[in-house]
Every structure is written in C-alpha cells, then in structure tokens.
Chain A
C-alpha cells in the first residue's frame, strides 16, 4: 500500500513534466557554482562600468579590460617575477615542512621536550613575527636567500604546532588497543598516531603555506629587488594602476594554485589511508 503514492507520482511525472523536473534538479545542483560565478561577472561588469563612466576613479582604479590587456602585454616581463615569488614560497614552505614536521614529531614523542618547547611555539604563533623582516635583510642581504628564509621562518611555527598537537591527540582507546596487542612503539606511531594526525597536520600545512606566501611578499616589500610583491609596490608607487592590479591577479593565481596543490595532497593522503575527506563549512 505504501508504495502506491510513489508509483502514482512516477506515472504523473512522465514526459514533459519529468524533463522540467530533471532540469530543475540539475539546476539546484549547479546553483552553488552558477550563483557565485554570476556574482563575479556582475562585479567585473560593474567595475568596468564605474571606471568607464567616472574618469575620476582612474586615479585609483583601472578597468578589468585594461588590466587584462596589461597582463597580456607585460607577461614576458613579469615571468621572472612570478618565478621568483613562486620559488621563494615553495622552497621556504618545503623546508618549513621538513623542519616543522620533524620538530612536531619529536615533541609528540618526548613528553618533557614538549613541556619545555610547546609554550614557546604557541607564544611565537601569537607575536607579530612579520616585524622581523628587516632583521633577515641585515643577516642575509637583499637577495633571494633572505626572502626564502623569512618565508621558512613564518611558515614553520603553524606546521610544527599543528604536527605536535595532531600527533598527541590520538584517541586513547586506539593507543590502549595497540598497547594490549604489544605493538612496538614505532608501529603504533606510524600506523595509528600518524593517520589520526592527518587532518590537524594538513590544517597546519595550509596555514603554513599561506604564511610562506605572506613571508615572501613582505620580504619582497622590504628588500625591493624582484618578485610580484615588488612589482605591486613599484607599480603602485608609480601610480600604474593597471600593472598593480595585474601583478595582484598573478599573486592571487600563484597563491590559489599552491593552496590547491596542498588540498589535493590532503585528498590523496586521506584516500590512501581510507579516511573520509572533511572540510569545515556549512552543514
């Protein structure tokens, strides 16, 4: 009896009605993609319109079409700066991952070391480390080394803290089980502690990656030699708004690409361990 309404529904929604329903259904699925895209296009259109109709805005803005034109025209000139920023960020981040994960792992293994150092890690997370940028210039000069090491320095702390916290937040039942099964310490570490720590670890990596890029950009501001941050500052000082926005767009692209790579690594790792991939968001 209970299946009857369902069948009835099936019969009535044949033909045209089912087609529109299917269309509406697929539209509902597309909504989260189409709406932001529409909003973005509207935004660009409004921007273009404002710049075209209010000449006064040209002193601080450039229209999207001009920005695109400059982007295409000066792209060959910008390539070395893109490479410089991307290399500093990626190398600094990679080194921070090595050092940060090693220290985080050591802290999770040795309780006394953790007690001695973890408060300092937290403290360094809070203080404005950005202010140390001029010191790195004094120590390492205005070349690529100072930017790279500064990026490493900034991205190290979130990675180390997240690794240490993640590795020591394993569910106690799982550890008890390992102990009961006489698992050796290193196997417990590798097969239980590490998988449990993956979400926290990647949260730290994402934060560290963002910090590495910020470090590179601030380093470029302070050293003023090369890189997209330098181009932004140079073009803004010369009131070349189209070039400023073009360099900003490239910086955003670099940032989103590297961030996307970290997220991809997270998805792959989680799938490899057979754990579900979860991100925070609206239920």
Chain B
C-alpha cells in the first residue's frame, strides 16, 4: 500500500510542480503586465505553436534528419574507432591523450570553420554535429571494450577462441552498457550540434527558425519553436533508450 502510494507520488509530484510553475508563470505575467516581447504567457506560446505548427514541423523534419544522420555517423565511427584503439596498445598510447584533449577543448568553436570547409548546406551541419557527438561514444566504448573482465578473456583464450570471437561474444556484450551511456550523451550532442550549425549557417531548420523569430521579436514563436525542438531531442533520446533496453535484453538472452 505504501509502496503504491510512493510510486503514485513519484509521478504526481513532478507533474504537480510542472503545472504549478506553468500556472504561476501565466498568472504572474498577466498580473505584472510584462510585455509580450520579454516573456509571453504559456497560453500565448500554445497559441503561437498552433498557428506555426505546419512550418515548424517542416523545419523540425530538416533538423531531425540532420541530427539523425550525424548521430548515425558518430555511432559507426565511434564504435569502429573504439574497436581500433582498444585492440592495439601502441594506437592507444598514441591516440588516447589526443582524444582526451579533443574531448576537453570547446569543439563548439569549430562551427564557423566547418562552414569554411564545407559550405552552408546540410553537409557542414551534419559533419559538425557528428564531430560533437563522436567523442562521448568513442571514449566510453573504448574504455569498456578494453576493461573487459580479465577472467572472462582468459577463459576465452584457454578455450582456444580467436581474438575475433572473443571480441564479438565477450568484449562487445560487456561494453554494451557503456556504449549506450555514450550513445545517449551523443544523441543530445547531435541535436545540439545541428542547432548551433543552424544558428551560424542561418538557412533552414529549427535553429534558424528560433534565431529568425527572435530577431523579429516574436518571442512567443521562439518559445514555440524551442518546444518543438525539445520534443525532437527527447524523441531521439527515447529512441536510443529504447534500443538500449531491447539490445540488453537480447544479449542477456
């Protein structure tokens, strides 16, 4: 009985907080008579969302497609890179410090450079976002692939398993949780990267829509576009989380 009550509360309390904040926002903005340009009410944002939904969905399609492409690139390259540096000691010693340094430096600042390299079209945005989301996957997967339970690797070796077999049936399943932790971070980085690139290229996508509506002082539309973008980000994150649950269940048998 109490545990059921607790479970109910763990859903009801966050929901109540969200509702309370929204209502307070609406009432405070209306009562304090804050100008629409500074802070629109939640109702005004909902209205703007309803009006602009077709155009925002069109932009969301562009942003979503680019984020997905970037994320896929990052997953493939990140996993391949991780397999490479976890399997060779010399490569690890040469590259790992460089990778850690690259992980730490603010890669966001490279965005204008990608425009110089690749122009202002989708390729530049996708490549930039892929670069941002590449490192979390690479690092977490490489460490997990390397730090496999030593006893299991020894067992494989004494049973005469080839390096390849050990890799696929022991190292990869062992690294799966870490891979997905990296992939979840990467999925948020992919959307972030595409949005930053859209800010700079200023041609299309939700990032451009946000910047454009902002520069025309249509703050309600800015909030509405951000809402659509948040839904997009959550959808990608949720998809990765879903894949994680499926693949973990698959590997556990």
**What is the interface of chain A, defined by CB distance below 8 A to chain B?**
31-32, 35-36, 38-40, 60, 112, 115-120, 123, 125-128, 130-135, 137-139, 210, 213-214, 217-218, 221-222, 228-229, 232-233, 236-237, 239, 241, 244, 247-248, 251-252, 255-256, 259, 280-283
Contact flags B217-237 to A (C-beta < 8 A → 1, else 0): 101001101100110011001
Q: How far is the CB of B97 from chain A (nearest CB, A)?
A: 4
Q: A131-B210, A133-B199, A213-B106 are in contact. List 11 more A-B contacts (CB 8 A).
A: A36-B96, A39-B94, A112-B13, A119-B14, A123-B234, A130-B192, A132-B226, A134-B210, A221-B199, A222-B211, A251-B105
Q: How far is the CA of A133 from the CA of B109 in the complex (A)?
A: 15
Q: What are the nearest 3 A-B pairs in CB distance?
A: A134-B214, A236-B112, A116-B13
Contact flags B92-123 to A (C-beta < 8 A → 1, else 0): 11111110010011101111110111000000
Most buried by B among A116, A132, A259, A283: A116
Tell me if A127 and B230 are in contact (CB < 8 A). Answer: yes
| Interface assignment of B52: CB less than 8 Å from any CB of chain A | no
Tell me if B13 and A131 are in contact (CB < 8 A). Answer: no
26 A-B pairs, CB-CB below 8 angstroms? A60-B117, A115-B14, A116-B13, A116-B17, A117-B14, A120-B14, A120-B17, A126-B188, A127-B188, A130-B192, A130-B195, A131-B225, A131-B229, A134-B211, A134-B222, A135-B222, A138-B38, A138-B219, A210-B104, A213-B106, A217-B106, A221-B111, A228-B109, A229-B108, A247-B109, A251-B109
Within 8 A of A (CB), among B1-36: 9-10, 13-14, 16-18
| Interface assignment of B207: CB less than 8 Å from any CB of chain A | yes
What is the predominant secondary structure among interface residues of chain B facing chain A? Answer: helix
Known: A131-B206, A133-B199, A248-B109. A40 touches B146 (CB 8 A): no
Tell me if B116 and A241 are in contact (CB < 8 A). Answer: yes
Q: How far is the CB of B127 from chain A (nearest CB, A)?
A: 13
Q: How far is the CA of A210 from the CA of B90 in the complex (A)?
A: 29
Q: How far is the CA of A31 from the CA of B233 in the complex (A)?
A: 42
Q: Which residue of B lies closest to A139 (CB)?
A: B38
Tell me if B94 and A35 are in contact (CB < 8 A). Answer: yes
Q: How far is the CA of A117 from the CA of B211 in the complex (A)?
A: 30
Chain B hits for A125, CB < 8 A: 188
Tell me if B237 and A232 are in contact (CB < 8 A). Answer: no
Chain B hits for A259, CB < 8 A: 104
| Interface assignment of B53: CB less than 8 Å from any CB of chain A | no
Q: How far is the CA of A118 from the CA of B95 in the complex (A)?
A: 38
Within 8 A of A (CB), among B52-87: none
Q: How far is the CB of B103 from chain A (nearest CB, A)?
A: 9
Chain B hits for A36, CB < 8 A: 93-98
Q: How far is the CA of A156 from the CA of B246 in the complex (A)?
A: 33
Classify chain B's interface size. Answer: 35 or more
Q: How far is the CA of A233 from the CA of B92 in the complex (A)?
A: 34
Contact among A116, A126, A131, A135 with B234 in the assembled complex (CB-CB below 8 Å): A126
Contact among A119, A214, A237 with B106 in the assembled complex (CB-CB below 8 Å): A214
A-B contacts, CB under 8 A, total = 146
Chain B hits for A251, CB < 8 A: 105-106, 109
Q: How far is the CB of A139 from chain B (nearest CB, A)?
A: 7
Tell me if A35 and B211 are in contact (CB < 8 A). Answer: no
| Interface assignment of B196: CB less than 8 Å from any CB of chain A | yes
Chain A hits for B165, CB < 8 A: none
Within 8 A of A (CB), among B162-212: 188, 191-192, 195-196, 199-200, 206-207, 210-211
Contact among A128, A131, A236, A241 with B115 in the assembled complex (CB-CB below 8 Å): A236
Tell me if A128 and B230 are in contact (CB < 8 A). Answer: yes
Known: A116-B16, A120-B18. A135 touches B219 (CB 8 A): yes
Tell me if B199 and A218 are in contact (CB < 8 A). Answer: yes
Chain B hits for A236, CB < 8 A: 112-113, 115-116
Q: Which residue of A lies closest to B18 (CB)?
A: A120
Q: Which residue of B lies closest to A216 (CB)?
A: B106
| Interface assignment of B37: CB less than 8 Å from any CB of chain A | yes
Tell me if A232 and B38 are in contact (CB < 8 A). Answer: no
| Interface assignment of B156: CB less than 8 Å from any CB of chain A | no
Most buried by A among B113, B199, B219: B113
Q: How far is the CA of A241 from the CA of B143 in the complex (A)?
A: 36
Chain B hits for A256, CB < 8 A: 101, 104-105
Q: How far is the CA of A139 from the CA of B105 in the complex (A)?
A: 29
Chain B hits for A138, CB < 8 A: 37-38, 214, 217, 219, 222
